[in-house]
Amino acid sequence: MSIARENATSLYEQIADLLRDEIQARRFEPTGRLPSEAALGERFGVSRVTVRLAIGRLAEDGLVERKQGKGTFVADKRLRQGLDTLRGFYDSLVLQGQAPEMRLVSLERTAVPPSLRGRFPAGLKHCIALQRLHRLEGEPIALACTHIACDAALGWDEAERNPSYTLIGQLLGMPVDRADLVIRARSAGQQLAAVLGTSRTHPLLELERTSYLANGAVCEHTLFSIRSERYEFALNSAGGVRVPA
């Protein structure tokens, strides 16, 4: 689409209208980042001043927000994770063009929790328990509490650097084959609010994931507490859950 220079509507308003339509059409998925002012100026054949006025109009309407040193983004852009492909939370963020930070909060060898004794392999007395905080652009987005069905040593650096499914492949010698997912809504509560930097009544998405090996054994259980204003899940009902190659 192009702008009409003979139109009575100012150039910057025309550009704002075109960008508004593209935002509503989700053209700027998956990161929500708009092209730079220079790129938009070249696209529409106008000065950066005109582009800046158009972006300012969108900002006034609450459609975009400027982030110092990073660019202009669709306001309140939610990241999206498809449920039709078996993929970890961290890997999903990376594939959406993000640069997530995964900070290890705790790591211990612990007795298998009572809730997992009937699900983890029989005879397994101890497992690996870890908590990791996922952050984007310095802000917390999710806390993951994970138990891996393995009684082995795991170093702090390794646990902080590698996603759960990578760790499982290293520890158990085989990849995750499938997973059961349950999604709930809940309020943060005092403890999670402090970790995620929000209020006690803030709505969270709670994702419970139980992962299996090809032999049917449960190898991992994770409870994700996710800030709902930053994230959403989607399912394509046309096909089943796929394991990426």
CATH code of the domain containing 38: 1.10.10.10
* List of the chain residues with pLDDT < 50: 239-241, 245
Tell whether 67 and 104 lie within a shared domain.
Answer: no
pLDDT in tens, 125-172: 999 999 999 998 888 999 999 999 999 999 999 999 999 999 999 999
Q: Is 202 exposed, middle or buried (0-12, 13-18, 19+ CB in 10 A)?
A: middle
65, 22, 15, 23: which is closest to 41 by C-alpha? 15
118, 114, 79: which is closest to 224 by C-alpha? 79
* 3: in domain: no
Tell whether 102 and 148 lie within a shared domain.
Answer: yes
225, 211, 217, 137: which is closest to 167 by C-alpha? 211
- Residue 32 corresponds to which amino acid? G
Tell whether 52 and 104 lie within a shared domain.
Answer: no
pLDDT of residue 230: 79
pLDDT of residue 94: 85
Total number of domains constituting the chain = 2
Tell whether 16 and 109 lie within a shared domain.
Answer: no
Tell whether 69 and 83 lie within a shared domain.
Answer: no
63: containing domain: 11-74
* 15: in domain: yes
CATH code of the domain containing 138: 3.40.1410.10
Two tokens, residue 99: 């640069």
Is residue 168 classed as helix, strand or coil in its secondary structure? helix
* 124: in domain: yes
The residues with which 180 forms a beta bridge, in sequence order, are 210
- Residue 164 corresponds to which amino acid? S
pLDDT of residue 240: 44
Boundary (domain end) residue, out of 59, 74, 89:
74
* 183: in domain: yes
Tell whether 169 and 189 lie within a shared domain.
Answer: yes
* 176: in domain: yes
pLDDT of residue 30: 62
Boundary (domain end) residue, out of 58, 74, 90:
74
Q: pTM of whole model > 0.85?
A: no
Tell whether 199 and 99 lie within a shared domain.
Answer: yes
